[in-house]
Structure 1
C-alpha cells in the first residue's frame, strides 16, 4: 500500500500527520468498498431467491366451482375446451353478420396490433424524450389506412362512389391526396429532429414504417380476400384455429418430447399431430365449402338494394377437373388407364393390372374385351373439386404450428 510522500523541508511531525491521515482515508475507503460489496452480493442473493410473480387466474368463478374436484391438468383441459367452443360460436356469428362487420373487425385488430408494436418502441426509448414520436406514428397509420381503404372502396363500391359527388371527387384525386398527406407527415418528422438524436429518431421512423408494412398491408390483403369470396377468408383462419386446437390435443394426450425452450409445454407430438390434422381439415373444409355459391362467389355491392349480394357462376377452380399426368411421373408410378366403349373409366396402378386373376365367366367375355389399356392417349386422372386454397393447407399448418 502506498502513502503520500513528504516534501523536502517538511518537519517530521507534519510528515507523520500526513501519513496517518492518508492511511485512515485508505482504510475508510476499503471498509466502504467492503460494505458496498456485501450489499451488492446480498441484493443479488435476494433477487435470486425472490419468487417469480405468478400470473393471475382469470378463469370465471362459475367454472372454478364446477371444476373444483378435478386436478389442475384436467381442469385446464375443460376450461380451454369450453372457452374454445364459445370463441368458435362467436366466430360463426361474426361470419353470419356479413363482410362489413368482418372488415370492421379486421381494422380493429390491425389498430390494436399497431398499438402494441409502437408501444414496445416507445417504452424502450421514452427516456430520450423524442418529440412527436407517437403522434407521427398514429398520423402515418391514418395516412396508410386512408390510401388502402380508399382503394378498396373505389374498387368494390364503384357505383355508389360515382353516384355521390363528394365521393367521386375524392376517388378521382385519391392517390394525389394520399401522397400529399404522407409528404406532410414526412415534413413533420424532419421538423421534429433533434441534433443529438438523429440516429435514434431515424431508427424509430423505420420502426414505424416496418410496422405499417407488416400490419396494415396484411390487413388490406385480408380484406381483399374477403371480397373475392368468403372461402378465402374462412379457410385460412379456420386452419389456424384447427392447428392450435389439434396441437394442444395431441400434446395433451401424447406429448412427451419438448419442442422448443421458449415454450416448454409445446411438444413434437403436438406439432406433428397438429400439422397433419390441419392438412386433412383444410382439404375437407375447402371441399365442402366449394359446393356453395355463398362461399365461393365474390361479394358485390348492389346499388339498387343498397346491400351486398353473392351470386355468380362458380369458376373452374371449384369444379371437377381432369389433369394430364406427365409421362415421367407415369413411368415412375406405373399407372395405367382403362377405357370402356371409347370412354376413359379410371386409372389404376400397374401392379394391380399385372397381377394374375381368375378367368371371367363366358357371360362376361364381351366386358373383358371392352376393357383395355389405351397407350396412345395422354394419361389423365380425375380430381376432387378442391380449390387451390386447399393446396395451401399444409403450408398454413406448418407456419401455424411454429
Structure 2
C-alpha cells in the first residue's frame, strides 16, 4: 500500500479519494480543491500491488473481479476523479513500469491481417442480439451520435448523425454506395431509403450480417441494400460514394496506407468518401491495455498526424475535416444510463463479472471523451478537387431540406 499511496498523493490535485485498505484502515487523499469525492475499498493485498504496478490494466480487472468496490460514489465517479486529475497530453503519476513493458506488446499487436480482424470483430460484436437492444437506439447505431441540443434524445441524435453524414456524401439518385464496416446496417438503410441510392454494406460479424439482412427484408429495402460478410480488402467493384462509421479504429496503423489505397482504387473518378472515426487530440500512444484485452482487441485510436500522411500517400484529397468534440461523451452517457436501468436483464443473459466489465467500459469511455482528449474525426475525401461545392453551405442545406431528421424520425 505504500507505493500506491505515494502515487495517489501525487495524482489527486482535484477532489478527494478515500481508500480503505485490506486491513480496514481509511486513507484520505484530499486535494483541498473542488472535484468528485469518492471512497473505494481494496479487498486484497495483491490488488494494491497490481494497481501500483500497472493501474491501466488492473484497475478494470479489480472492479470486474470484485477486488475493488465503491463505498461512496460509483465506478463512473472514480474514473471521472482519476481522469480529471490525469488530464491529457502530459506525463502523470499513473505512468508505471507496466506501461513500458506494454509498449512492446502493443507494437506487434497493431497488425491486423484478415484472419485476426475476423477474430477481433467476433470478440465484441457477436454477442447476444438481446444484449445490444437493451441500450442502443432502434437502428442499433453503435457509434457517436450527433446532438444538436442538450435535450436531444438518443434516437433523435443518431438520426441526426446519419443525416449529417449523408449530407456530406453529396449523394445523387441512383449512385452506388459502399458502407465499410456496416454494423447492423442502419446507415445503409437510411441512405437507401432517404437518398434513393443502392448500398453495399460489408461486415466481418455474422451476427450483424444476419440482423442487417433480416431488417432490410422487413423494411422492404432488400432490393436497394446488399449486406455481405466480406473484408473491405476483398472488395473490387467501383462505387460513387464510400462511407465508413466506427470501423477505422480497427484497421491498425500498419494498414493505413493499404486502407486508403483501397478506398481510392474502388472510388469512381468523381467519387467522395466520408470516414467517421474516434481520434485523439494527443499524440500517438498505445491502446489502453484493459480495453485492448477485454473490449476491442486490435483496436487503436489515432491522432490526425497518423491518418493524414496515409491519405496523402494514397493520392486522395482531404476536402473537409470536422471534429465532433463532446458528442460521443453524450452518446455514452445515454448508453450507460440505459445499460444501468436494464442491469438485471443483462444479468439474465450474462454473469455479474460481465456486467461489471461493461459498466466499467461504458464509464471509462465516457470520461475519456470528457477529460482525456478523445474526439471524433469526420474526414471527407475525393479523387478530384472539383466534384464538391465550393463552400460547406451545401451540407447544412441538404441536411435540413432533404434529410431533415425531424421528418425522417416521424416517418
Is this a same-fold pair by TM over 0.5? no
Greater relative contact order (CA < 8 Å, ≥ 6 in sequence): 2
Greater strand share, structure number: 2
* TM-score of the aligned structures, taking structure 1 as reference length: 0.22
* TM-score of the aligned structures, taking structure 2 as reference length: 0.22
Higher-Rg structure is 1
